[in-house]
Structure 1
Amino acid sequence: MHQQLIERTFAWSTPLLDHLGDRDRHLFQRYGQGPVVALPETHIHHAVERHAAALPDTVAAEHLGTRITYGELDRQANRLAAHLADLGVRPGDNVAVFVRRGIPMLVGILAALKAGAAYVPQDVGLAPPTHLRHVIHAAATRVILTVSAAADRIPVPDGHHLVAVDSVMAQPLGRCPERFVPTEQPGSTGENCYVLFTSGTTGRPNGVVVTHRNVCNILLTAPGNLGIRPGWRVGQLLNVAFDMAAWEILGCLSHGATLVIRGRDIAATAERVDALIATPTILSGLDPDRCEQVKVVAVAGEPCPRSLADRWARRRAFYNACGPTETTIVNTMHRHDVHAARLTIGRPTPNNTVYVLDPAGRPCAIGDVGEMWAGGDCVSAGYLDNPQLNAERYAPDPFLGGGRLMFRTRDLGRWTPDGQLEHLGRTDDQVKIRGFRVELDSVSAVLESVPGCRRAATLKLDDRTLVSFVAPHHVDPEVARQAVAAALPYYCVPTTIHPMAALPETSRGKIDKAALLRLAASGQWEQAA
C-alpha cells in the first residue's frame, strides 16, 4: 500500500505544473488526491453473496408487504443466472433489465452480475418503446429480463429472449447451486457491472459502461458506504435507470442492510428508513421532522440549496456529493456542517482525483475558477460505440500517468483555501445575456436563499431574457427579484420570476428544465402554477 501511494504521488511530476508557485503546486496535489484505500471485493455481487452466506435469514428487501431474505435472494439469483447461461449469456455480455420497481428487479440485477454480464436497467413503466428499442440495439443485449405485467410493453427483436423474472421466481426452487460461477470466456473477464444510458447532448442516448472496480470503489469505502450495516433500512426511491439507484440498491445489499422499495408514496418510505439517497429535488419534497429514523442522507445529481442542506444536517449526517454517471455515481463528497461558511462538494473520494483546469488543460491556482476533471478509479470504461464522444470527454491523465484516463465533467469549480471544492455550475449553464456571461445556477442559488423558496430554476429565453421559476407558489416574485439584484450584476436579474406549487421533475428526480423552457416559451406557465 505504501509503495502504491509513492507511485501515485510520483506521477504528479509534470510540466503542466510548472506555471504554479510552490504553494499552489503543493496544494494542487494535496487537495486533488483522495486517500489510497484497498478494496475488500473485486466484484460488487461478491459482497452480497458474503452477507447471504453469513445472514441468510436477514430480510434483504421489502416492497408493498412482500419480503425476501438474503438466502432466498441469493438462491433465486443463482437459478436465474444459470438460466441466463443456458440462453447463451457469457461474461462480458450485456443483459437488459427492463422492470418495474420491486423484488424481481433485484433478482434480475444480481442474476445478470452472477452470470458475468453487465446489467442494462430501464424502468419499463416510464421508458417509451422507442427508447427501449434503442437501448436493446446499442447495448447488443440478446436477453431481456422483465416482469410479467410489463412484458407486452417491450419491443422484442427477432432472435432475442424475453424472460419474466417473477414467473421464474414462482417456480419451485428444487436443487439450486449454492453459488453460480460463470464459464470463463477467452478475452472476456466480466469486469463490467452496468451500462446506463444518459440523455446525451445530441438527443441520442449514450450508453456509459461502468465496471465492478468503479462500483466497489465508491460503495465499499467511506464515505460512499454511508455507514450502512446489517440492521439498517435503506430507502429505494429512485428510477432504476438512474445511476444513484445503484447507490441505493447495491450500496444496501453489499452491506447486509434491508432495502425498502417504495410504492407510490415516497414520503411513507422515507419516514421508516435509516439511510436516504436522493436528488435535492426529491429531498425538498420530504419533511425532515417526519423522518426521525433517518441517520444519514446523501444528495447528488444537481446543485443542492444551502437551506435544504441545513434543514437536514441539523439532526443527522448529511453528505453533499457530486459526479456524473461517467465518474461512477459520485467522485466527491462532503459531510455538511450547518455552521460552515459555505456548502461544498468536498474532496475526492478514495482512490480518486479531481483537477481544476483552465481551458488549456493547465491546473488553476487555488481559488481560481476552472473546469473539473476527474481521475482515478472512478473513471468509467467509456461510451458504447462512440469513439468521437470518448475522445471529447476522456483523455490521458497526465498527473497520474501509467495509461490512466481522466474525465471532463463540464462542471465549474474552485478550491477553497482549506481544500474543499465549490461547485459553481456547469459550462453548458453559462449563457450570454446582452453580451454578458451569466451562470444560470448562480442565479438559481440566490433565489433558493430567499426565505420560503425551496427550489428554483433559471433559463435563457433569448439573448436578452432570463426567466426563473420558483417553488412553492407563495414565494413573492418581487422579493425574489430584489434578492438577485442585490447579489448579482443587473444583467443576471431575471426578466420574470414565476412561482409554481412545485417544479416539474424528470423521471430521475431532477428539475425538468426542458419542460420549464417549453412553458416559458409558450407563455402557458400560468396554467402550470
Structure 2
Amino acid sequence: MPLRHLTPKDRALFHEYGRGPAVPLPDPLVHRAVERWAAATPGAVAAEHQGATITYGELDRYAGTLAARLAREGVRPGDHVGLFVRRSIPMLVGLLGTLKAGAAYVPQDIGLTPPAQLDHVIRTAATRVVLTQREYADRVPLPPGHRLIALDEPLPYQSPYENGPRADVRPDDGCYVLFTSGTTGRPNGVKVTHRNIANILLTAPGDLGIRPGDRVAQLLNVAFDMAAWEILGCLTHGGTLAIRGKDITATARTADVIVATPTVLSGIDPASCPRVRTVAVAGEPCPRPLADRWAARATFYNCCGPTETTIVNTMRRHDPSAPLLTIGRPTPNNTVYVLDAHRRPVPIGETGEMWAGGDCVSAGYLGNDRLTAERYAPDPFLGGGHRMFRTRDLGRWTADGELEHLGRTDDQVKVRGFRVELDSVSSVLERVPGCVRAVTLKRDARSLVSFVCPAEVDPAAARDAVAAALPYYCVPSDVLALPTLPETDRGKIDKRALLRLAEERTLEERSVAARSVEERSVEERTVMAR
C-alpha cells in the first residue's frame, strides 16, 4: 500500500487535495469542436491578422481542402505534419487541416528557428510533408522524398470544399508534437494526444470562460505549448482569435482573454487593456506584484505544468487579498502527487517533488525511450495502466489544500557549500518597491548574481532586502538593474543572455579598474619625476 506510512488524516487529504474533479468531455477530438462552430455560425469571424479576417465557414472549408490534399500526399492518421510558419491566418488553416487529416501538427516558427533545428525536428518527427508560407519555403531543409506545401498559394483555396470521408481519428492519437529544450542540446519531441488537449480546453477552468464573440489574443510562439491554449482554446469555443503583429500591446488592448508567460504579461499595462476579462499565466513562476496588479482588474489564473502534462495541470484563480500566490489544485480528470525521493507521498505541509497523473499525461518523447522511462512511470495511485510524470517542480500542500510552488529541483544550486533555491532570492527582490521582475542565477561556486527591472530599481536597496530576509550565502554579489529582461523566442526569460550580460559587466568593470590603476601609476611616476 503506497500510503501506509502516512497518518489516517494525511491519507484522506492525499486523495482530497490531489485529485481534480471527474468531468466528462463533450468531445475528445478538438477539431470536431471547431467544426461544430463552423456549422452553427459559418459567418462568425474565427480570426483576424493585420486587417485580414477569416470566418469559421471559410476556415473549415479551406482546412477541409487541405486535409484532402494531405490525404492525396499519403498522410494518414497517426502521421506527423510539419507546420513551419509565422503567425498568420494560413497558420490556422495548416493546423486545422492537419488535424482533419488525422495527423498531428509539428509547429515551428520558421522565422526564428535555425535550419539545423528544423532538420532535427523533421527527422525526429518523421514529417514527410511540411506546410509553410511561400516566402519561407527556401528556409526549410527538406530531405529527399519529402513534400513542401505552401499554405498561402491561392489555387487550393479556390477549389470546392471536398473533405471526403472523415479520417478515423481516436482520442489517444496525436494532436501535436512540441519540441522542448533537451539536456543534450537537442530538443526533445513531446507527443500530446487529442484526449490530453481536449481535457484542458473543454473543461473549466481551462476553458477560461471563452464564449462566441470573445476576442482571444494570440501573442505566443506557435512552437510553445501555451500557443495551443490561445489558438485551440479560442476556436473550440467560437471566439475570435486576434493574431498579433509586431506590437503585442496593441493586440492585448483589443482582447477579452489573454494567455501569456509572466515575462510577456509584465510588458503589458493592465490599465491600457480595459476590456480584458480573463488572464492566465504559466511557463515560469509569476511575481506576486504582477498577479496582484492584474487580479485587481480581471479574473487571473496562476497555472503550472510542463509541456509533458499538456500546457497546465494545476490552476488557481488569484485573489489579491490571499496570503499566498499558489498554483491551486489539479484541473479536471488530473492528479498531483507530492512525493519524496522514493516516490512516496510526503505528509501535508512538507516539501517534495510534484508528479502529475491523469488525462494530462502525454504520450512520451519521440525516439527517446530512455528519457521517457526516466520521466514517466506507472501510476501506483490511479493504477489501471495509468502513468504519471515527474515534473521536477518542488511543492507542498498548504493546510487548506493549495499547492505552493517552491521552484525547480534543478533550480537548487550550491553556493559556498550551501544549498540555495534561486527562486526564493528572486521572490524577495520582487517585493522591493518599484521592482516588477527579478531573476537570480548562479555566477560561480561562490556567488550569485541577480537582475531586476525596471532600471530605476535601486540595486543597493535590493541587495539589502535579500540580506535582511535570507542567510548571507543567498545574498547576490551583484544586482543589475535593467530596463527590461531579455526574452527567449517562447516568451520566457533568457537566462543565458543574462549570464552573458553579467560577464560583460564584470569584464567592463575590471577594465575600468585596470585603467584607473594605470592612470594612478602614471600620475605617481609623473609626480616622482618632478
TM-score by length of 2: 0.94
Q: Match of 1:401?
A: 383
Partner of residue 73 from structure 1, selected from 53, 59, 67: 59
Give the conservation status (yes or no) of the 8 Å contact 1:457–1:468: yes
Give the conservation status (yes or no) of the 8 Å contact 2:171–2:194: no
Give the 5 Å matches for 1:317-328. Answer: 317-328=299-310
CA deviation after TM superposition for structure 1 residue 525, in Å: 8.6
Q: Match of 2:43?
A: 57
Corresponding letter in the other structure for 1:176: Y
Mapped partners of 1:171, 1:129: distance in 2: 27
Mapped partners of 2:357, 2:432: distance in 1: 36
Mapped partners of 1:213, 1:328: distance in 2: 10
Corresponding letter in the other structure for 2:147: H
Q: Match of 1:332?
A: 314
Q: Match of 2:158?
A: 173
Identity %: 69
Distance 1:77 1:466, change over 3 A: same
Mapped partners of 2:412, 2:290: distance in 1: 24
Q: Match of 1:139?
A: 125
- Secondary structure in structure 2 of the residue aligned to 1:363: coil
CA deviation after TM superposition for structure 1 residue 180, in Å: 4.7
Corresponding letter in the other structure for 2:344: R
CA deviation after TM superposition for structure 1 residue 379, in Å: 0.1
- Secondary structure in structure 2 of the residue aligned to 1:222: coil
Corresponding letter in the other structure for 1:372: M
Mapped partners of 1:420, 1:439: distance in 2: 21
- Secondary structure in structure 1 of the residue aligned to 2:152: helix
CA deviation after TM superposition for structure 1 residue 134, in Å: 0.5
Mapped partners of 2:398, 2:109: distance in 1: 40
Give the conservation status (yes or no) of the 8 Å contact 2:175–2:192: yes
CA deviation after TM superposition for structure 1 residue 170, in Å: 4.9
- The answer to whether structure 1 residue 484 and structure 2 residue 469 are counterparts is no
Q: Match of 1:4?
A: none
Q: Match of 2:34?
A: 48
Distance 1:524 1:69, change over 3 A: farther
Q: Match of 1:8?
A: none
Partner of residue 309 from structure 1, selected from 274, 291, 299: 291
- The answer to whether structure 1 residue 209 and structure 2 residue 191 are counterparts is yes
Corresponding letter in the other structure for 1:315: R
Give the conservation status (yes or no) of the 8 Å contact 1:91–1:189: no
CA deviation after TM superposition for structure 1 residue 173, in Å: 2.8
- The answer to whether structure 1 residue 380 and structure 2 residue 365 are counterparts is no
Q: Match of 2:173?
A: 191
- Secondary structure in structure 2 of the residue aligned to 1:360: coil
- Secondary structure in structure 2 of the residue aligned to 1:42: coil
Give the 5 Å matches for 1:106-125. Answer: 106-125=92-111
Partner of residue 439 from structure 1, selected from 409, 421, 424: 421
- The answer to whether structure 1 residue 362 and structure 2 residue 344 are counterparts is yes
5+ residue gaps, structure 2: 510-530
Mapped partners of 1:342, 1:336: distance in 2: 9
Corresponding letter in the other structure for 2:273: C
Q: Match of 2:476?
A: 494
Q: Match of 2:115?
A: 129
CA deviation after TM superposition for structure 1 residue 190, in Å: 7.3
Deviations 1:162-181 (A, max 9, x none): 000010x454533213x554
Give the 5 Å matches for 1:175-324. Answer: 175-177=160-162, 179-184=163-168, 191-324=173-306
Deviations 1:466-489 (A, max 9, x none): 001111111101110111111111
Give the conservation status (yes or no) of the 8 Å contact 1:469–1:498: yes
Give the conservation status (yes or no) of the 8 Å contact 1:498–1:525: no
Higher alpha-carbon Rg: 2
Q: CA RMSD in A?
A: 1.4
Give the conservation status (yes or no) of the 8 Å contact 1:90–1:182: no
Q: Match of 2:8?
A: 22
Deviations 1:134-167 (A, max 9, x none): 0000000000000011111111111000000010
Mapped partners of 1:88, 1:255: distance in 2: 31
- Secondary structure in structure 2 of the residue aligned to 1:523: helix
Mapped partners of 1:54, 1:517: distance in 2: 53
- Secondary structure in structure 1 of the residue aligned to 2:2: helix
Give the conservation status (yes or no) of the 8 Å contact 1:81–1:114: yes
CA deviation after TM superposition for structure 1 residue 184, in Å: 4.6
Mapped partners of 1:355, 1:189: distance in 2: 25
Mapped partners of 2:387, 2:320: distance in 1: 36
Q: Match of 2:512?
A: none
Q: Match of 1:426?
A: 408
Distance 1:393 1:525, change over 3 A: farther
Q: Match of 1:6?
A: none
Corresponding letter in the other structure for 1:102: S
Q: Please, which moves more after superposition, 154-163 or 57-66?
A: 154-163
Mapped partners of 1:172, 1:489: distance in 2: 64
- Secondary structure in structure 2 of the residue aligned to 1:166: coil
Give the conservation status (yes or no) of the 8 Å contact 2:172–2:195: no
Give the conservation status (yes or no) of the 8 Å contact 2:422–2:441: yes
Q: Match of 1:413?
A: 395
Give the 5 Å matches for 1:439-518. Answer: 439-518=421-500
Mapped partners of 1:359, 1:235: distance in 2: 41
CA deviation after TM superposition for structure 1 residue 202, in Å: 1.8
Mapped partners of 2:421, 2:55: distance in 1: 49
Deviations 1:454-505 (A, max 9, x none): 1111111111110011111111011101111111111111011011111110
Corresponding letter in the other structure for 1:87: E
Distance 1:417 1:47, change over 3 A: same
TM-score by length of 1: 0.94
Corresponding letter in the other structure for 1:33: R
Q: Match of 2:514?
A: none
Corresponding letter in the other structure for 1:173: Q
Distance 1:263 1:525, change over 3 A: farther
Give the conservation status (yes or no) of the 8 Å contact 1:119–1:193: yes
- Secondary structure in structure 2 of the residue aligned to 1:159: coil
Partner of residue 31 from structure 1, selected from 7, 17, 20: 17
Count of residue pairs the alignment pairs up: 509
Q: Match of 2:78?
A: 92
